A and B are shown apart, each in its own frame.
Chain A
Amino acid sequence: MMEKVLFGRYVPADSLLHRMDPRSKLIIIFLYVCIVFLANNPWTYLILAAYTILMAGLSKIAPRFLIAGLKPVLWLVLFTLLLHLFFTKGGEPVVQLGSFAIYEEGIRQGIFISLRFLLLIVVTSLLTLTTTPIEITDGLESLLGPLKKVNFPVHELALMMSISLRFIPTLMQETDKIMKAQMARGVEYTSGPIKDRLKAIVPLLIPLFISSFKRAEELAIAMEARGYRGGVGRTKYRQLNWTFADTGMILLLAAVTLLLIVFRG
């Protein structure tokens, strides 16, 4: 049930994207999220899409997996599309049904916004697909390092993040297991009236909460038992290592940004 969700999981492979420094990947994602908003006409969306497809290619992750991974969020994208179709007004009405109309601007906005959504999801999934949670956390901790000077709890934040990321698959497995156990006791999650299906969430959530709290407590004890007492003076086993490829990829994104600025309407 939960197993088709690709978002947030790491797929090991030997690709340029896998080998890159997590810091450069994080910087690229951050910039990408910003420059997505530069696109406002077909040309600029084409440039963005081309860049995104290039990135997907460099990740060596089979396209069909990426597409399968998008399926769960497709509903959200569709919803955005419909919202714009029905509620954005402007330009000529394309379809007129009594007092209800779909406008040119609605179609345009609908397509652009849902495309933007899709591109963002692809790029962020590429990050998690090619970078282990530990690498992401190390990268973040290193990038946010300067904030320690103003007493921002960088290490704690990074730790919280790595623990959450680490337990996503566990939580999924657990969800699957408890769902099955309750299905064996007659609960239906995939068919039947909506009211019953909503009610069926309780027998799923309560056991999940309980086991999560239990696990958190056990983890805290295990960490303390192994001498963990915060980030101060802690050395790193994994060293980050910025290479020529990282600089190159950032320059490539800079070039894309430039193109977007030139071509945007």
Chain B
Amino acid sequence: MDISLQNIEYRYQADTPFERLALSDVSLDIPSGSYIAIIGHTGSGKSTVLQHLNALLKPTKGTVLIGSREIRAGRKEKNLKAVREKVGIVFQFPEHQLFEETVEKDICFGPMNFGVSETEAKRRASVAIEQVGLTKDILEKSPFDLSGGQMRRVAIAGVLAMEPQVIVLDEPTAGLDPRGRKEIMDLFYQLHQDKNLSTVLVTHSMEDAAAYADEIIIMHQGSVFEKGTPSEIFSAPQALIDMGLDVPEVVRFQLKLEQAFGRKMGKVCLTAEELTDVVASFLKGGNPS
């Protein structure tokens, strides 16, 4: 299922003294099966963009296409549930949404709202709990007896159990330890690969964006500042650094090296392995491949 935002504008609290322009003229495409990373400073409008992807917010100008469904500014929309079933969102700190007595009930909550039978929901819950790296015995526990990291995983399982076609992640690893972070990121990448699940990831980590995404979108003050493949984006790392954004360590290292030697290596490397080869041939005096 493709999603496309066309010249979106969004104002929070329109027509009040607190009106705030959060997005202006944002256009972007999320083709079926792609993995897209959205990066930008706090307040640049990333979360606002995400909420348009399953019609939690309706643009104040412009059009959103979600599959065959068109959501247009100023028009009343009905039956948005059908859209939300296909696009699952893992909000920032999703553990705040847990409320049921047991983990299993909480995971089943989403699927059952969308009309899945109880037995099927339970089956999905037992699959999802293992997907997020927890064991089945947790299903019977109260979600409030778990650790913060476990709660996060349960909340993610609750979204996975909806079996969406597109999954949208708002800083899913914020506040986790490095190992938990890597596990969660790997889990989503695995799902993306195995099920061809379209994935939209909002992150502060350029490393993650470079490692997983097909396309990176950089947001700045409510607009799309730049978009392209990771190697396109990082081919001009200085612009990003000037904007106060991070670049992957590998890219930063290469930049420093180029500055120290006073000449370019020709190609931008995104992984340590790639960089090793390029640096080796560079140091041997040969031209970079």
A interface list, Cβ under 8 A from B: 3-4, 6, 9, 11, 61-62, 64-65, 68-69, 174, 177-178, 180-188, 191, 202-203, 206-207, 210-211
B162 contacts which chain A residues (CB < 8 A)? 185-186
B6 contacts which chain A residues (CB < 8 A)? none
Question: What residue of chain A has the Cβ atom nearest to residue B91's Cβ?
Answer: A181
Question: What residue of chain B has the Cβ atom nearest to residue A169's Cβ?
Answer: B18
The answer to whether A11 and B17 touch across the interface, beta carbons within 8 angstroms, is yes
A62 contacts which chain B residues (CB < 8 A)? 17
Q: Which of B106-114, B131-139, B248-256 contacts A (4 or more CB under 8 A)?
A: B106-114
A177 contacts which chain B residues (CB < 8 A)? 91, 96
B81 contacts which chain A residues (CB < 8 A)? 186, 188
For this complex, 8 residue pairs linking A to B, each with C-beta atoms less than 8 Å apart, are: A3-B16, A9-B18, A178-B97, A181-B91, A183-B56, A184-B54, A184-B56, A185-B109
A180 CB contact (under 8 Å) in B15, B56, B113, B114? B56
Label chain B's interface by main secondary structure.
mixed
The smallest beta-carbon distance between A199 and chain B, in angstroms, is 10
A185 contacts which chain B residues (CB < 8 A)? 84, 97, 109-110, 113, 158-159, 162
Kindly supply a per-residue 1/0 record for chain B positions 21-53, scoring 1 wherever the CB is within 8 Å of any chain A CB and 0 otherwise: 000000000000000000000000000000100
The answer to whether B16 and A211 touch across the interface, beta carbons within 8 angstroms, is no
Q: How far is it, in angstroms, between the C-alpha of A102 and the C-alpha of B54 when the chains are bound?
A: 49
The answer to whether A203 and B54 touch across the interface, beta carbons within 8 angstroms, is no
The smallest beta-carbon distance between B76 and chain A, in angstroms, is 11
The 8 A-B residue pairs with the shortest CB-CB distance in the complex, in nearest-first order: A186-B113, A185-B110, A206-B99, A181-B97, A184-B89, A3-B13, A11-B17, A186-B114
Interface: B222 (CB within 8 A): no
B18 contacts which chain A residues (CB < 8 A)? 3, 9, 11
The answer to whether A68 and B97 touch across the interface, beta carbons within 8 angstroms, is no
Q: Which of the four size classes fits the interface of chain B?
A: 20 to 34
Q: How far is it, in angstroms, between the C-alpha of A119 and the C-alpha of B51 when the chains are bound?
A: 38
A186 CB contact (under 8 Å) in B51, B99, B110? B110
Q: How far is it, in angstroms, between the C-alpha of A254 and the C-alpha of B201 when the chains are bound?
A: 62
Interface: B230 (CB within 8 A): no
Q: Which of B61-86 contact A (CB under 8 A)?
A: 78, 81, 84-85
Interface: B12 (CB within 8 A): yes
A64 CB contact (under 8 Å) in B12, B15, B84, B158? B15
The smallest beta-carbon distance between A2 and chain B, in angstroms, is 10
Q: How far is it, in angstroms, between the C-alpha of A62 and the C-alpha of B18 when the chains are bound?
A: 12
Q: How far is it, in angstroms, between the C-alpha of A210 and the C-alpha of B96 when the chains are bound?
A: 9
The smallest beta-carbon distance between A147 and chain B, in angstroms, is 35
* With known contacts A180-B51, A184-B91, A207–B16 Cβ distance under 8 A: no
Q: How far is it, in angstroms, between the C-alpha of A60 and the C-alpha of B85 when the chains are bound?
A: 46
* With known contacts A185-B162, A186-B114, A203-B99, A180–B13 Cβ distance under 8 A: no
The answer to whether A65 and B16 touch across the interface, beta carbons within 8 angstroms, is yes
Q: How far is it, in angstroms, between the C-alpha of A181 and the C-alpha of B13 when the chains are bound?
A: 19
Q: How far is it, in angstroms, between the C-alpha of A65 and the C-alpha of B99 when the chains are bound?
A: 36
Q: How far is it, in angstroms, between the C-alpha of A1 and the C-alpha of B194 when the chains are bound?
A: 37
Q: How far is it, in angstroms, between the C-alpha of A184 and the C-alpha of B169 when the chains are bound?
A: 12
B12 CB contact (under 8 Å) in A3, A206, A210? A3
A178 contacts which chain B residues (CB < 8 A)? 96-97
A184 contacts which chain B residues (CB < 8 A)? 54, 56, 84, 88-89, 91, 159
The answer to whether A207 and B85 touch across the interface, beta carbons within 8 angstroms, is no
Q: How far is it, in angstroms, between the C-alpha of A61 and the C-alpha of B18 when the chains are bound?
A: 12
Interface: B59 (CB within 8 A): no
B91 contacts which chain A residues (CB < 8 A)? 177, 180-181, 184
Q: How far is it, in angstroms, between the C-alpha of A210 and the C-alpha of B98 when the chains are bound?
A: 10
The answer to whether B97 and A4 touch across the interface, beta carbons within 8 angstroms, is no
Interface: B172 (CB within 8 A): no
A180 contacts which chain B residues (CB < 8 A)? 51, 56, 91
A207 contacts which chain B residues (CB < 8 A)? 96-99
Q: How far is it, in angstroms, between the C-alpha of A68 and the C-alpha of B19 when the chains are bound?
A: 13
The smallest beta-carbon distance between A219 and chain B, in angstroms, is 18
Q: How far is it, in angstroms, between the C-alpha of A177 and the C-alpha of B95 when the chains are bound?
A: 12
